[in-house]
Each structure stands twice: as structure tokens, then as C-alpha cells.
Structure 1
Amino acid sequence: MKYRAAIIGCGKIGSEFSDDPRIKDIYTHSGAYSSCPDTNLIAVCDSDLGKAQKCANRWGVPEVYSDFRTMLEESRPEIISVCTPDATHYQIIQEIMEYNCIRAIFAEKPLALNISEAKELIHRAQEKKIIVSVNYFRRYAPNHRELSLFLQDKTNIGEIQTVSGYYTKGILHNGSHWLDLARFLIGEINLVQGFPVTSIITDDPTVSAYLLFNNGASGFLFGCDEKMFDIFEMDIIGTKGRIRILDSGHTIEKYHVEDDPNYSGYLALAIGLRNSGGLTDSLLHAVEDIVRCLKTGGEPICSGLDGLEALRIGQSIRESALTGKKIVFHNE
């Protein structure tokens, strides 16, 4: 049996990245549903009907809409992706859950723009027994899942001491990807302090932040100017080695400790392995994970609760950047 899937929002992550000749793998929701043997992409929707039609033509989708309510009433999908602008997520997801045909929602991040709205969505989904999966896509990537297991084995790089990194384009929009990955690889965060990069604080500013993890590791996330270039990196320092995540996660370097070749009696870090290409087909793996949950009743690799936590940390960093005060919170 194939699950009936639909998409709201036919922009870049919805479909258009698949037209980029530099992107060789499955990197869109449309591409993922079309490639997964357990799903059938039956309908697409965008407020720009021309964009929706282009998406439908690209993927051979029979039903095209400019209004998602009409699509839900007529097409009756079981799985639906929300790929619309951040500020629309809460309202759209809220309405989607009132349609009895919906069994799973695959949402772009952030889940909502504030904690109370995100909590409301998760509570309603639990009441309706609807699976909510959030597209922090690195969790689904084979290289990052392998890295998570690698870090859990303390014989590899030992206990994590510090983590640092760089991002652009808003602490909620892109910074939350970094925060979610830090939780996935290192553990829960219980203290943050934000620092403004510019004098202008928007609803989703690009700010820097100090982080303290439950396991005692500390970290610093640097916000960078997106007008100059895009960057997403993470550097994890352990007691026995180091991990560098580069090129937005496409490349992972592993370092070990050995005798310093330049100075007798000292130890240094030396690169042991450098892997590239591990983000391949991450969106397909995300859809496969949703199918797994529908079949088995399991929890998604990146659940609505994970989306809520990334939002909570990001909002705390923003608040701290405004007030200049550290924020301590307990994980729920």
C-alpha cells in the first residue's frame, strides 16, 4: 500500500532545488515523495498557482491547487509537507490537523515562531494521534547518524570538552539547525547567553551565543553576515580527538591524538579520516522514516518535540541577546 502525500509550498525546498544542476541527490519534498516506493505524491499547492503547476509538471502530479483547504477536502492526503514561509507554519499546521485524513505532517523548521504555539501544535497532534516530523535534515543523513554513534563510544574522541560553530540567516531559521544538531550529537543544553551581532534585533536575528550542556561541555555559536556568504560548520573537541563538520555537513573530518611531529614530548591532533557526500538523499530518508512510523507506531528521528526544543533554545538566545542576561532552563 502506498501512502497518499501532498505538499503545501512549491518553492526551493518544496521542489525547485531539484532543478539546480549542482544538486545531484534528492533534496526536496517533491523529490522524496516521488522517489519513495511507499508514497504517492497526489497533489501540490502553492498560493502562486503557476509555481504549483510547474512543480506538478516536474513530478507528474495529477492535482494542483492554490488553496490548501480545497486540496485537503478534495485530495484527502495521509501525509502532508508544509514548505511555506516560517511565519505561516503555525496557522497552516493548526488547520491541517482538523482534517481526519491526515496521519503525518512533515514540517519545515521552525515549527512555529513562539513556544506557546509550538506546544499547542504538539498537544493537538498527540490528541489526534498525528505524527509530526520536523525537517532538521542532518538527523536523517547517514554520515551524521554514524557520527552520533561514533561520539557515544568514548574510546573514539573521549569526553566532549567544547563545541564551536558558525551559521547565517537567523537563529530560528538556520541557527536552529545548528542547535538541533548540537543536541543530537552532544546532548541537552541547559544555559545560553546571546550576543547581538548588529545593533538591530529582528524577530529572527542572527546572533552569537554561549552554550552550556548538561554533560559539562561548553560551546560558542558565531552568527555571520549572510550578505557575504553562507556558512554552516561545527567543531567538536574531545579529550582524545576532534570532529569537524564542514560544507554544511557534506564533509566530516575525524582527528585523533598522536605524538607531535614538530616538538618532542608533546601531543597533537592529526587528521585520520575525511568523508564527503554523506548528506545524500537526506529528504528521502526523512520520508522513509515517516513511513516507518506509520507502519510501526514509532517516533520520528526528528519529532515535534525536537522541533520545540530547538525553538526554545533559539528564542532563549534571542531574549538573552536583548537583555544581556544568561538564561537557564530545565529540559522538559
Structure 2
Amino acid sequence: MAQYKAAVIGLGQIGLTYDFDPKREKPSSHVFAYHLNPRIELVAAVDVRADQYQALHKIAPSVNFYQSMVELLKNHSVDIISVCTPPVHHLSAIQYILQNTDTKIIFCEKPLVSCVDEANLLTQILQKGNRLLIPNLSRRWNSGIQRVKAHIANGQYGELQKIHVKYTRGIHNTGSHIFDLLHWWGGQISEVQAIKKIKTSADYDSDPSYTFAFLIDKNILGFAEAFDDEQYYLFEIDLYFSKGKIEIRNSGDDVFYYQVGEHHLYTGFKSLYLERYENQLLSESNLGNAINHLVNILDGLEHPICTVEHGVYPLYVAETIIRSFNNHCSKERVRL
């Protein structure tokens, strides 16, 4: 079977250092995910910080280290490149890779670019070629979250009617996952209304957090509430259907499925009863699953389940929430 070569641009948390956290599932970084995959040879990595050389070699001792992406790409021809730099550098890195290499897949961290203007430019650039840019909207790779999608698609719990979200850490950081999942499960968000701005640790990265209401395709009502992660971390989603409910808890580690039955207290009314639950879903590595998916794409066995369109969509929603807040919490249409 073919062996593919990979490189990683940026050795921060998701690029490398998450795998030094003993509580995280392994692999949790691009470096370790490539290093563990038997079909991939991780040949090189780059970071502007010279001290990341030692951290890299604790996990992957034989990988070549560079402080310049240009130098790395002069010395190595690779099939997959992971872009794990801060978002402000994503567009320039992607442009350089497309213009100067034959790399088949660019696997890019979220948010895909830093603003809507860059998203529009990126879409135009990619229309001129046939290479793949795949965003790492990581929950798409999780089998438990994929089962939630399947249950919604087959109508097992009836019509999706309302959505409640609780989150921390920014409408670009955590928001990328929220908006992608809502889009994947329910359809496009058509309208938003910011309600209040909340302080979180993402403020240090200029990524604001808002409590806001939203509407999906004119008939699914939603409410998202931001919390300060210095008090506690939250990522929870409740999906209310005409015939049941699905709860996403503990950052997606637990999923609870409820069905409708006769109310145990009141005649003529119905209530929700726990049907089943799945736990420890994050014990499987989302990044490990993603890299397996990239290999299958290169083998011609699968099509991408996450596209550029999915990657830029959250930016339009985030921009609209900011516009709503700046316009005295007005209702705003999401313009795609």
C-alpha cells in the first residue's frame, strides 16, 4: 500500500503540545496523529520558536525541524500539509503552498481564515485549482457525533424544532464547532440577535463571546448562552424534536437520547424518558480519525466530509453576531 508523506506548519497546542497533556486522548496533535499512522511518514515540521525543536523530538525524534516554511518546502515534497499557525497567518500559508508545491491535501485548523474578506479571497483562489483544502472541524470526525447526525437525518426523533447551546471561549474558536454542527444537523442559520457580551479567556486572543438567539431556515429556534470559562468550561447542546430529545454533554464526551412516553404524573400529557446514552466518545481520537480519513481520500476510497464551504460558513455567522451587537443588539440576517 502507498506510503504518504506529511509536514506540520506550526507547533503550538493543536500542532504539537496538546499531547503533553496527560488528560487528553491520544493523539490530540497533528504531529502525533501523523507519527502514529502506519500509512504516513511525518518528514518535517516548522515553528518560528527554536525551542519547539526539543518538544517535537520528544514525540517524533526523526522528524526534520525548520524555523521557516519556505525552507521546509524547498527541502521536502509532501502529500499532506497541516497548517496549525494562528488564523491570521492561514491565508498566506495556504497561498504559498498552492503556488509553490504539488501537495495534494492542505489540512487546516479552524477558523480557516481570520475574516470574511479572506474567506471570499480564499474561495476565489481555490476555484482555480483542483487540490483539496480540508478544515479541521474536529467533531465531524467523531463517530458518536456522526451517529447524532444519522438519527436526525432518518427522522428517528421527529422534526428538529429547538436548539439550546451553552459554550465558552469565543465565537471563532468554539463558535466554529457550534456553527458547523448546527449547519450539519439543522441547516443554515438565517438570522441572529446578540443579547450580551460575556468575558472569557478567548478575549486575550481577540475572540469575543456572546449570548445570542438564532433562527435556522425559518422554523428552528435557537438560543446560545456564553459562560466565563475561568469559572468552568462548557460545551453543551440540547436538540429538541417533536418526538424526543438529544443532549450533548461534557464537550461531546456524553450523548443522551430521550424518547416520548406517557407522563407519570398527569393524565393526557407526555414526558421525555431516557432511552439510552453513550459515554466516553472522546476516548477515540478525533484527529486520529481525521488522518485516517485523509489517507482514504488519497487512496480514492472516500470523499471529504468537511469542505472549504463548511470551513468558511462559521465566519459569516460570527461576523453577523458581532454586527448585531454593534448595532445595539439588532436582528441581523446572515449574508453568505
Q: State the secondary structure of the residue aligned to 1:290.
A: helix
Q: How does 1:73-92 map to 2 (within 5 A)?
A: 73-92=74-93
CA positional deviation for 1:294: 2.6
Query: Could you tell which deviates more after superposition, 54-63 or 43-52?
Result: 54-63
Q: State the secondary structure of the residue aligned to 1:317.
A: helix
Matched, 1:72 2:76: no
Counterpart Cα distance in 2 of 1:21 and 1:151 = 34
Q: State the secondary structure of the residue aligned to 1:97.
A: helix
Offset from partner CA, 1:269-305 (integer Å, 9 cap, x none): 0111111122311111112222233332964211111
Aligned to 1:188: 188
Offset from partner CA, 1:51-89 (integer Å, 9 cap, x none): 133213312333101111111111222211111222222
The amino acid that maps onto 2:191 is L
Counterpart Cα distance in 1 of 2:53 and 2:112 = 23
Q: How does 1:256-295 map to 2 (within 5 A)?
A: 256-279=259-282, 280-295=284-299
Aligned to 1:310: 314
Q: State the secondary structure of the residue aligned to 2:120.
A: helix
| Distance change (3 Å), C-alpha of 1:126 and 1:286 | farther
CA positional deviation for 1:29: 0.9
Counterpart Cα distance in 1 of 2:101 and 2:62 = 22
Counterpart Cα distance in 2 of 1:52 and 1:95 = 23
Offset from partner CA, 1:5-57 (integer Å, 9 cap, x none): 01111122112121222223322111221222322111111111211332133
Instruction: Compute the RMSD of aligned alpha carbons.
Output: 2.0
Matched, 1:239 2:242: yes
User: Please, which of 209, 227, 251 is the counterpart of residue 254 of structure 2?
Assistant: 251
What are structure 2's unaligned runs of at least 5 residues? Answer: none
CA positional deviation for 1:309: 0.7
Q: State the secondary structure of the residue aligned to 1:237.
A: strand
Offset from partner CA, 1:109-148 (integer Å, 9 cap, x none): 1111111212222332332322111111111100011110
CA positional deviation for 1:203: 4.7
Contact 2:199–2:209 (CA under 8 A) maintained in structure 1: no
Aligned to 1:16: 17
Counterpart Cα distance in 2 of 1:132 and 1:161 = 33
The amino acid that maps onto 1:69 is V
The amino acid that maps onto 2:207 is D
What are structure 1's unaligned runs of at least 5 residues? Answer: none
Counterpart Cα distance in 1 of 2:216 and 2:309 = 18
Offset from partner CA, 1:157-179 (integer Å, 9 cap, x none): 10011001111111111112111
CA positional deviation for 1:330: 5.7
Contact 1:165–1:234 (CA under 8 A) maintained in structure 2: yes
Contact 2:198–2:211 (CA under 8 A) maintained in structure 1: no
Q: State the secondary structure of the residue aligned to 1:161.
A: strand
The amino acid that maps onto 2:170 is G
CA positional deviation for 1:149: 0.6
Counterpart Cα distance in 1 of 2:300 and 2:275 = 39
| Distance change (3 Å), C-alpha of 1:47 and 1:32 | same
CA positional deviation for 1:219: 0.6
Counterpart Cα distance in 2 of 1:93 and 1:254 = 41
Q: Which runs of 4+ in 1 moved over 3 A?
A: 198-203
| TM-score, reference length from structure 1 | 0.93
Contact 2:161–2:240 (CA under 8 A) maintained in structure 1: yes
Counterpart Cα distance in 1 of 2:103 and 2:25 = 31
Q: State the secondary structure of the residue aligned to 1:49.
A: coil
Matched, 1:104 2:109: no
- Number of aligned pairs? 330
Matched, 1:2 2:3: yes
Offset from partner CA, 1:220-254 (integer Å, 9 cap, x none): 11111122221111000000000000111111000
Q: How does 1:64-213 map to 2 (within 5 A)?
A: 64-154=65-155, 156-198=156-198, 203-213=206-216
Matched, 1:301 2:305: yes
| Distance change (3 Å), C-alpha of 1:232 and 1:100 | same
Q: State the secondary structure of the residue aligned to 2:195.
A: strand
The amino acid that maps onto 1:291 is V
Counterpart Cα distance in 1 of 2:105 and 2:26 = 24
Contact 1:44–1:52 (CA under 8 A) maintained in structure 2: no
Query: Could you tell which deviates more after superposition, 237-246 or 60-69?
Result: 60-69
The amino acid that maps onto 1:62 is V
Q: State the secondary structure of the residue aligned to 2:310.
A: helix
| Identity level (%) | 28
